[in-house]
């Protein structure tokens, strides 16, 4: 059997067994007037690109007028799964051969754990631990609302260490999950500071344009924008290391307020607990509030959003907040909100709150 023939068989098998494809995409696809098991249906051709790079790759090709080989439609890649163009893109852009710099923001008690992360990732010579130490005379900011922009600023500073040796724009990876990044207001009353959007795509686009205007050659990358936190854990290439280190990370929006402990009932804590539950790992995090009886309105808000989703659909939940996105991107974002709520609802059900 030739290499091409064996690769066609392998891709046909991959399409049926991989969780990355929709049910529709698993059907045989029409390619040059014949149905083939190794081709995707034309309507699902975009799934030929890994979900992490799908939107960016399609936009990049369109912007630079690059032709897709045997394109399945306007601005669409081929639906043939053994395409050299698709293979090159997937291998290049999802390669895990990178050696990133790590940037940590020190909060009380986190320094030691950050050093352990760097050691475990064999990155002792490639990490920075910084604290902005900004203090106003009569006010101490106790929330973590400024955390993301501090990370972006630290990334910009850290990049200067490798600027000379990396000729192209330096990628800045923002490892936030799509559900938290969108932080859709789950009830009409949760606007403003109750639904901050410090890694929201629109906000990050704003940061990117500031950098572009200032000719700071950095490129924000947002690889988990279409994943929930549970899916991020599930899809991680090294779940052994992740499950070992995850307990030391901080998610809580009120970590400072609760003496450097997770509250257990704010939305980021619910997302964290739900993600642990999704992958079935033991959660070693200490939570200071009891999810079974706590009267936090986060629980009521998450429950009612879930019920609205069930009865009236996702657009009633997102209520226009995804209007910045169009077409397939909008659908993917709606789906990540649905799946994120679904993870939380499983958690609340397990604790007798739903």
Closer by beta carbon to Zn ion, 186 or else 269: 269
The region of 61-69, 177-185, 264-272, 317-325 touching Zn ion under the rule CB under 5 A is: 264-272
Contact flag: residue 252 with Zn ion (CB under 5 A)? yes
- Closest CB 120 distance from Zn ion, rounded Å: 25
Contact flag: residue 347 with Zn ion (CB under 5 A)? no
Closer by beta carbon to Zn ion, 58 or else 269: 269
With beta carbons less than 8 A apart as the criterion, state whether 312 and 266 touch.
Answer: no
**How many CB atoms within 10 Å of residue 164?**
7
In the three-class reduction of DSSP (H, G, I as helix; E, B as strand; rest coil), residue 29 is classed as strand
Closer by beta carbon to Zn ion, 39 or else 263: 263
Please report the DSSP string for 164-176 in residue order: TT--SPEEEE---
Name the residue among 241, 236, 263, 244 with its Cα closest to residue 252. 263
- Closest CB 348 distance from Zn ion, rounded Å: 15
Phi, psi torsion values for 215, nearest 5 degrees: 60, 35
The region of 12-20, 160-168, 263-271, 314-322 touching Zn ion under the rule CB under 5 A is: 263-271
Name the residue among 118, 116, 85 with its Cα closest to residue 99. 118
Size of the site for Zn ion (CB under 5 A): 4
Contact flag: residue 266 with Zn ion (CB under 5 A)? yes
With beta carbons less than 8 A apart as the criterion, state whether 51 and 58 touch.
Answer: no
- Closest CB 153 distance from Zn ion, rounded Å: 25
Contact flag: residue 314 with Zn ion (CB under 5 A)? no
Contact flag: residue 275 with Zn ion (CB under 5 A)? no
Tokens of 345: 């609802």
| Residues in contact with Zn ion by the rule CB under 5 A | 252, 263, 266, 269
């Amino acid at each position: 059997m030739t290499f091409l023939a064996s690769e066609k068989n392998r891709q046909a098998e991959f399409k049926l067994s991989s969780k990355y494809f929709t049910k529709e995409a698993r059907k045989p696809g029409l390619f040059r007037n014949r149905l083939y098991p190794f081709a995707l249906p034309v309507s699902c051709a975009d799934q030929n690109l890994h979900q992490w790079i799908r939107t960016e790759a399609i936009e990049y090709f369109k912007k630079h007028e690059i032709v897709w080989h045997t394109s399945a439609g306007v601005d669409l890649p081929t639906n043939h799964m053994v395409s050299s163009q698709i293979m090159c893109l997937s291998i290049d852009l999802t390669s895990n051969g990178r050696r990133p710099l790590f940037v940590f923001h020190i909060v009380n008690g986190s320094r030691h754990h950050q050093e352990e992360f760097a050691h475990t990732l064999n990155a002792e010579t490639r990490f920075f631990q910084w604290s902005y130490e900004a203090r106003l005379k009569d006010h101490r900011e106790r929330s973590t609302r400024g955390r993301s922009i501090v990370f972006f600023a630290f990334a910009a500073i850290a990049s200067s260490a490798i600027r000379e040796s990396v000729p192209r724009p330096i990628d800045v990876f923002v490892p936030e999950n799509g559900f938290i990044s969108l932080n859709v207001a789950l009830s009409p009353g949760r606007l403003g500071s109750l639904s901050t959007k410090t890694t929201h795509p629109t906000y990050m686009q704003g940061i990117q344009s500031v950098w572009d205007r200032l000719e700071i050659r950095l490129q924000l990358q947002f690889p988990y924008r279409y994943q929930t936190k549970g899916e991020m854990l599930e899809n991680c290439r090294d779940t052994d290391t992740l499950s070992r280190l995850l307990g030391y990370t901080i998610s809580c929006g009120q970590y400072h307020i609760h003496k450097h402990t997770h509250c257990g009932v704010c939305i980021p804590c619910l997302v964290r607990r739900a993600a642990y539950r999704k992958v079935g790992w033991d959660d070693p995090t200490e939570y200071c509030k009891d999810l079974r009886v706590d009267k936090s309105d986060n629980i009521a808000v998450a429950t009612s959003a879930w019920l609205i989703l069930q009865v009236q659909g996702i657009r009633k939940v997102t209520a226009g907040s995804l209007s910045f996105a169009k077409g397939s991107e909008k659908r993917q974002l709606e789906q990540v909100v649905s799946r994120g709520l679904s993870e939380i609802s499983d958690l609340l059900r397990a604790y007798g709150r739903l």
